[in-house]
Amino acid sequence: MDRSVSGGRGYYYSAAPVGTGMGMGPLAGQLGEWLLRAVQPPAPTPCGSPGGPPITAPRVRMRDGRYLAYEESGVPKESARFKVVFSHGFTGSRLDSLRASPEVAEELGVYMVGFDRAGYGESDPNPGRSVETAAQDMEDLADALGLGNKFHVVGFSLGCHAVWGALRYIPERIAGAAMLAPVVNYWWPGFPAELAAREYGRQERGDQWALRVAHHAPGIIHWWMEQSWLPLPTSTVVVNTTYLPNKRDAEIRRTLTADGTLRKKREMATQQGIQESYYRDMAVMFGKWEFDPMALPEPPCPVHLWQGDEDGLVPVALQRHVAGRLGWVNYHELPGTGHFLSAVPGLGDTVLRTLFG
């Protein structure tokens, strides 16, 4: 795959010419061209480009010329014993973290760096984004910041696809990994068909259709998500109306909605275009993976996974199956806990002590 970056504004989306073919009249050809244009998402507005958002965060260059924006926390990397690269979840940003206490980070000597994943916040979009490139971005970020030959990776929710990618594509660089409420792909081959179908069917109909399009027809995901005539919301996750069975999760969402935090997070995440952040995330996470996480060999590092048993976004039954198939995953199920694990009191410190204590 050629992931080179051009300096123009229109390089992100290209389409092969639509031929009329033998026996097809000009009207059919025109209709095909119109349909092709109709499903094309708008061009992104990269930070620093004419008319685009300003660049306010520190950024480093990737191997293909793109830039990633990042945010550091914990102890200075020069004196750190452990270095962590953090991959945020859906709607997140470089400002997201484990929310560990400064005291514990200082005690253990932990340096952490969060980054805007490609197309989010102030990181350049990547038209070829995939699970593999997500892992490469973490590797390139670590190298650009001088984190050494090995570093730890931590992911939250949908951002854990980058951690799975790191375990598959760059295991020799990973000193340890942690995943918090990692989103699953219902089409991973390792899931029993009946179990996956049952959990998939428990979602709202609009969510089912959104994931179905993301998996089978990712090229039209933007068009599908933007159709206001559909009788059901195209994704309750995108509009923040998913039913949350856990009381803490529901209260957190009410509070963040009331004080405008969720709106601000959305504006920050999607400032270069919702296609390059939310919708490309959906296409990568729920598309066709090149590997099945449940078929991965044991990596040369410890791997931990935390999951709440009242998670309204990630079915605990599927997470249990993943952990059961991978005997090398240290599985930590949290009773009475939902999806927003960063808000669980003391959990950030627990994760750091588990990894480095």
Secondary structure of 281-321 as H, E, C letters: HHHHHHCCCCCCHHHCCCCCCCEEEEEECCCCCCCHHHHHH
Q: Under a CB-based contact definition with an 8 Å cutoff, are residues 309 and 334 in contact?
A: yes
In this model, does residue 59 exceed pLDDT 90? Answer: yes
- Look at residues 182, 201, 55 and name the one whose alpha carbon lies nearest to residue 122: 55
Token pair 């507005």 in the structure block, residue = 45
Query: Is 25 inside any structural domain?
Result: no
Token pair 């995901």 in the structure block, residue = 221
Q: Under a CB-based contact definition with an 8 Å cutoff, are residues 124 and 47 in contact?
A: yes
pTM over 0.85: yes
Q: Under a CB-based contact definition with an 8 Å cutoff, are residues 188 and 202 in contact?
A: no
Q: Under a CB-based contact definition with an 8 Å cutoff, are residues 234 and 206 in contact?
A: yes
Query: Is 260 inside any structural domain?
Result: yes
- Interacting residues of 31 by C-beta distance below 8 A, sequence separation 6+: none
- Total domains present in the chain: 1
In this model, does residue 26 exceed pLDDT 90? Answer: no
Q: What percent of the chain has pLDDT above 70?
A: 89
In this model, does residue 55 exceed pLDDT 80? Answer: yes
* Residue 228, pLDDT score: 80
CA-to-CA separations, 237 to 147, 215, 282, 344, in angstroms, rounded: 35, 16, 11, 21
Rounded CA separation 179/224 (Å):
30
> What DSSP character marks residue 260?
T
* Residue 227 binned pLDDT confidence (cut-offs 50, 70, 90): confident
Query: Is 319 inside any structural domain?
Result: yes
Helix (H) or strand (E) holding 135: helix 131-144
* Residue 19 binned pLDDT confidence (cut-offs 50, 70, 90): very low
Query: Is 54 inside any structural domain?
Result: no
Query: Is 154 inside any structural domain?
Result: yes
* Residue 41, pLDDT score: 86
Query: Is 255 inside any structural domain?
Result: yes
Q: What is the CATH number of the domain that holds 156?
A: 3.40.50.1820
Domain span at residue 333? 59-356
CA 150 to chain centre: 22
CA-to-CA separations, 334 to 61, 181, 196, in angstroms, rounded: 38, 10, 22
| Angle formed by the axes of helices 261-269 and 247-258, nearest 10° | 80
In this model, does residue 38 exceed pLDDT 80? Answer: no
Could you read off the pLDDT of 133-164 as tens digits, one per residue? 999 999 999 999 999 999 999 999 999 999 99
* Residue 12, pLDDT score: 36
Mean pLDDT of 12-38: 51
Query: Is 35 inside any structural domain?
Result: no
Helix (H) or strand (E) holding 131: helix 131-144
Query: Is 47 inside any structural domain?
Result: no
Could you read off the pLDDT of 163-206 as tens digits, one per residue? 999 999 999 999 999 999 999 999 999 999 999 999 999 999 99
- Interacting residues of 80 by C-beta distance below 8 A, sequence separation 6+: 74, 109, 110, 111
Q: Under a CB-based contact definition with an 8 Å cutoff, are residues 290 and 135 in contact?
A: no
Token pair 């991959």 in the structure block, residue = 87
